[in-house]
Structure 1
Amino acid sequence: MVAGLLQEGASAEALALAARFALPLWPDWPEDAPCALVWQDGRLNLHQRGEKGVVCVDFAGGAAAHRRKFGGGAGQPVARAVGVKGEQRPAVLDVTAGQGRDAFVLASLGCTVTLVERHPVAAALLADGLARAAACDDAAVQAIAARMTLQHADALGFLLQAQAAGQKWDVVFVDPMFPEPDRRARAKKEMAAFQTLIGGDADADALLAPARAVAGKRVVVKRPKLAPFLAGVKPNFQFPGESTRFDGYLPA
C-alpha cells in the first residue's frame, strides 16, 4: 500500500520527495485511500483518514531531542547491543530503518549509520526528516544528520549485493516490522496507521544469513521480548529489556 501526496499546499521540497520516491500525486484524497501524505507546517506528514494524529520524522525536536538529551546516552540498550563503549563507535548498517529512531540514537552517540528503507512512504518521511535536521540551526543535530545516510532499497537485495561486492559494516542492525494485530492494537493510533501502511517484513528470516556475511563484528536483531528467534537461530548473546530484547549474532 502506498499513500500519495496531496498536491494542495505541497511545496517544491514535497514535490521533489514525491518524484524521488515515485509517490503518486493526488489532487484530492481518494475515498478508498486510508492514508495520505500532506505538506504541513514545513514538513511531510502522514495522515490517517478520520484521525487527528500524524506521523512525521523529526530529528531536531520532539521525542528525538528528548531522547538525545535524557535517554541515557551510551547506557541505552541499543547502544550497548551494538557495542558503543569507551572510544568505540562502530559503523552501523540499519537494514530496516522505519522512522530512524534507533539509527538517530546511534548517530547521536557518534556512530556512522547507513539507513536502508524499502517502503517509499517511510523513505520519503526519513528523507524529509534528515533534510530538516541538516538545515536546522542546531549544530549538534546537523552533525548527527551528517553521520546518517539513507538508501531507498529492499533490505534483502541490498544485503545480497553488499555481500557480492565484499562490503562490510561493523554492525548490521535488524528491527523487523511485526504485522500481528495485537502489536498494532497496543500502538498509538498514528503508529498503528504507519504499521498498517508499511506492512510486516515477511522476509525478515531471510535477512539473517546475508547480514552475518557483511557484518564485521556482530549482527543485532531487535525483537519483542517473547518473540521467537529470527530464522529460528539461537543468538550468541542477548541484551534483555522490559518489552524488547536485542539478540546478537557473530559474523558468519
Structure 2
Amino acid sequence: MSRSNVSTDLPKDETIPLAIARSLLGDEHQALWLRDELSLPYLGVVRPKDVRQASALLFLDENGLCLQVAGKGAAGPVRAEFVTGKMGYRREHGGGAGQLVARAVGLQKTKAGLHVLDATAGLGQDAFVLASLGCRVSLFERNPVIHALLADGLARAALNVDCAPIIERMTLQRVSSIDWLAYVAGDIAGDVDADRNAAADVIYLDPMFPHRDKSALVKKEMQVFRTLVGDDDDSERLLGAALAVARYRVVVKRPRKAPAIGGPEPGTRIEGKSSRYDIYPVKALPAR
C-alpha cells in the first residue's frame, strides 16, 4: 500500500479515541472515503490487537465495517448485521407481531401499514424487526460513526435475497431527529390538516440511558457506544418533539427498572425481562 494513503499526522505520544483501518481483505476505497467523510486518521492495513495509537477502530474486513476496540484482549467487533447471527435467526424464527417491540408499536391492533420513525436508530435492530413485519421505517442516526456502521449493514443486507425486500422499507438519514422533528412541528403549526402532515404514524425512541448499574453494561456494543457516543442528555426534549408530530403514538424503550423520561407520564407500559416500552398515545390506531 502507498504510504500516501495512510495518515502520518497522529500525535506521537498520545492515544487518539478512534481511527480507521482495514484488514488485507477490507475495502480500501471505502476506508479512504470514510477517512475523508469522518475526518479521522487512516492507519492502513493493521491487526487491531497490535494497534496502540488508537483506542478503537472503524475497521473494514471481509465482513464489512465494524467498530473494534484496539489492543490485546479486547471484545470482538460490533457491526450492524441483519443477514446472519441474532438478527438472521430472529428474522426466520421471530415471534411476529407478538414481539414486544411490535406490540408496543401497535401491530396487534391494526392491519394498516404503519410508518414508523425511529429517531435513535443505533444499529437498526428494532427498526429491522418492524420493517420485517411490514412497517415503513424512517431511521435517524445523528452520530456519524454509528451512522456509518448502520449504513454499511443496510447496504450488505440489501444484497441478500431474503433481506432485500425488508431493506427497501427502511430509509436512513444522518441528521438530528430533534432538529428535524422541530422543523416538522413548525411546518404543521396552524395547518388545518395537521393530521395529514404528521411526521409519522408512530415515533420510536431508544435513547442511551445514563444507567450506573454495571449489569447494564454487559453487552459489548453498549460498552463501546458509551465510550464514543456518551449518554443522550436531551431525551426529554426529544420526547416532547416526538409527541408534537406523532399521529398515533410515541414509544420509548427503557431499561426495565429505569425511570420514565421527564415529561408527561406514559399511558401504558409493556415490560420484558430486561427492557420495557413506555407508550404515549396520541389517538387510537386505525383498525385497518
Q: What is the TM-score of this pair, normalised by structure 1?
A: 0.90
- What is the 5 A alignment of 1:28-43? 31=52, 33-43=54-64
Structure 2 unaligned residues grouped into runs of 5+: 1-15, 189-197, 284-288
Shift of 1:183: 4.9
Work out which of the residue numbers 107, 131, 138 in structure 1 matches 2:155: 131
Give identity over the alignment, percent: 43
Aligned match of 1:224: 255
Larger fraction in helix:
1
Taking structure 1 as reference, are residues 90 and 5 closer, same or farther at Cα in structure 2, changes over 3 Å only? Answer: same
Taking structure 1 as reference, are residues 134 and 109 closer, same or farther at Cα in structure 2, changes over 3 Å only? Answer: same
Deviation string, structure 1 residues 161-220 (Cα, Å, up to 9, x no partner)? 222233520000000112334257542335412332221111111111110111000000
2: CA distance, partners of 1:227 / 1:104: 25
Q: Does the aligned pair in 2 maintain the 1:184–1:195 contact within 8 Å?
A: no
Taking structure 1 as reference, are residues 42 and 243 closer, same or farther at Cα in structure 2, changes over 3 Å only? Answer: closer
Which residue identity does 1:27 align to in structure 2? L
2: CA distance, partners of 1:2 / 1:217: 41
- What is the 5 A alignment of 1:43-62? 43-50=64-71, 51-62=74-85
2: CA distance, partners of 1:239 / 1:39: 38
Aligned match of 2:208: 177
Aligned match of 1:245: 276
Secondary structure of the residue aligned to 1:98 is coil
Shift of 1:250: 2.4
Taking structure 1 as reference, are residues 187 and 69 closer, same or farther at Cα in structure 2, changes over 3 Å only? Answer: same
Work out which of the residue numbers 175, 183, 187 in structure 2 matches 1:165: 187
Shift of 1:52: 4.3
2: CA distance, partners of 1:220 / 1:185: 21
- What is the 5 A alignment of 1:1-252? 3-6=18-21, 9=24, 10-11=26-27, 12-20=29-37, 22-27=38-43, 31=52, 33-50=54-71, 51-85=74-108, 87-136=111-160, 138=161, 140-166=162-188, 167-183=198-214, 186-251=217-282
1: CA distance, partners of 2:173 / 2:43: 29
The higher radius of gyration belongs to 2
Shift of 1:69: 1.6
Secondary structure of the residue aligned to 1:27 is strand
Structure 1 unaligned residues grouped into runs of 5+: none
Q: How many residues are aligned here?
A: 249
Which residue identity does 1:24 align to in structure 2? L
Q: What is the TM-score of this pair, normalised by structure 2?
A: 0.79
Which residue identity does 2:238 align to in structure 1? L
Q: Does the aligned pair in 2 maintain the 1:114–1:149 contact within 8 Å?
A: yes
Deviation string, structure 1 residues 220-245 (Cα, Å, up to 9, x no partner)? 00111111111142111221222211
2: CA distance, partners of 1:174 / 1:48: 27
